[in-house]
Amino acid sequence: MTPEIDQQWVGKLLRTSAERFILPRFHTVGASRKPDGSIVTSADIDSQNFLRDMLAARYPDIPLLGEEMSHAEQARLLQEADMLWCLDPLDGTSNFAAGVPVFGISLALLQGGRSMLGWVYDPVRAELFSAAQGAGAYMDGVPLAARQAPKLRHCVGVVDYKRLSRPLALRLINERPFHSQRNFGASVLEWCWLAAGRYHFYLHGAQQLWDRAAGALILYEAGGRATQLNGDDLREDDLPPRSILATLDPQLHKSWRRWLETTAEFPNAAL
């Protein structure tokens, strides 16, 4: 059962973190490289520390798993805690450091390996997306209504080619089954913009838990569908990156799965 969480307070907390630690440093902060090659800034660290401390003060029994923690500590938390916060304090850091106005903060409450609550805040556009399991999805308090996507050949979507396998990426380029694609470089916003109906599908080859924990719940509660590319369910109870096939509605997901079933990587994946 979902604990008594003040969802409005949490949403305001994300806004506060953005106003204090992120927006004032947009395109002015230096960046360093992490061992995995991605970049990190002082805004990432300060945002995570602020949110961790504020959440701990109000909900002391719920630990926090953050992107800017060691892998060992993340794994320990997932193994030991039945309930925890899952935080990406600044997704789209490369955009942020380069002055590209596409980045966001994501926070989910996980219980029993499932996302129960989720928030994503877009500091540039001041849009707050939120969802509670079984209670719908919202943007700035307004419900995100379920939408019907067009046929696949007419669809526009987000495709992260870099993380797809080479054979699948080449096939998508040479035998493109959709109309057009984009890539914004901020996974947490890409989930929410899909949920809001700004495009129709989302393909990603290897996404981290904190990149999807809130966004996938928001999409699901808005009437969308998301699995791994092979059709397996997404998981919120372990750390390995997962591929993403997310669509605005379930019928488009079935169309994508039929197309992927003819790809050598996924010949036996269930529809």
Q: Is the pLDDT of residue 55 over 70?
A: yes
Q: Per-residue confidence at 266, pLDDT binned at 50, 70, 90?
A: low
Least reliable range by pLDDT among 134-143, 146-155, 212-221: 146-155
Interacting residues of 269 by C-beta distance below 8 A, sequence separation 6+: 229, 230, 231, 232, 257, 260, 261
Mean of the pLDDT values across residues 161-169? 94
| Residue with the larger pLDDT of the pair 3 and 105 | 105
How far is residue 48's CA from residue 15's CA, in Å, rounded to a whole number?
Answer: 13
Q: For position 30, what pLDDT does the model report?
A: 74
Q: For position 271, what pLDDT does the model report?
A: 34
| Residue with the larger pLDDT of the pair 38 and 96 | 96
| Residue with the larger pLDDT of the pair 270 and 237 | 237
What residues are paired with 88 via a beta bridge?
A: 106
Query: Do the two domains 7-143 and 152-261 of this chain adopt the same fold?
Result: no
Where are the chain's structural domains? 7-143, 152-261
Q: Which two tokens stand for residue 226?
A: 């998301």
How far is residue 107's CA from residue 95's CA, in Å, rounded to a whole number?
Answer: 19
Q: For position 1, what pLDDT does the model report?
A: 46
How far is residue 57's CA from residue 21's CA, in Å, rounded to a whole number?
Answer: 19
Q: Which fold has domain 152-261?
A: D-Maltodextrin-Binding Protein; domain 2 (3.40.190)
Q: Which two tokens stand for residue 75?
A: 């794994």
Return the CATH superfamily for domain 7-143: Fructose-1,6-Bisphosphatase, subunit A, domain 1 (3.30.540.10)
Mean of the pLDDT values across residues 96-113? 96
For the chain, percent helix, then strand, then coil, each to nearest 5?
Answer: 35, 25, 35
Binding site, annotated residues for Mg(2+): 67, 88, 90-91, 211
| pLDDT more than 90, % of the chain | 84
Q: Which two tokens stand for residue 29?
A: 């902060």
Task: Tell me the average pLDDT of the chain.
Answer: 93
Handedness of CA 259, 199, 155, 159 (dihedral sign): negative
Q: For position 145, what pLDDT does the model report?
A: 87
DSSP 177-192: -SSEEE--S-HHHHHH
| Residue with the larger pLDDT of the pair 101 and 147 | 101
| Residue with the larger pLDDT of the pair 28 and 50 | 50
Handedness of CA 70, 71, 77, 82 (dihedral sign): positive
Q: Is the pLDDT of residue 33 over 60?
A: yes
Q: How many Cα atoms occupy the beta-carbon half-sphere of 170 within 13 Å? A: 5
Q: What is the pLDDT of residues 199-255, one digit of tens each?
A: 999 999 999 999 999 999 999 999 999 999 999 999 888 899 999 999 999 999 999
Count of positions (residues) in the chain: 271
Q: Is the pLDDT of residue 111 over 60?
A: yes
Binding site, annotated residues: 67, 88, 90-91, 211
Q: Which two tokens stand for residue 61?
A: 């029994």
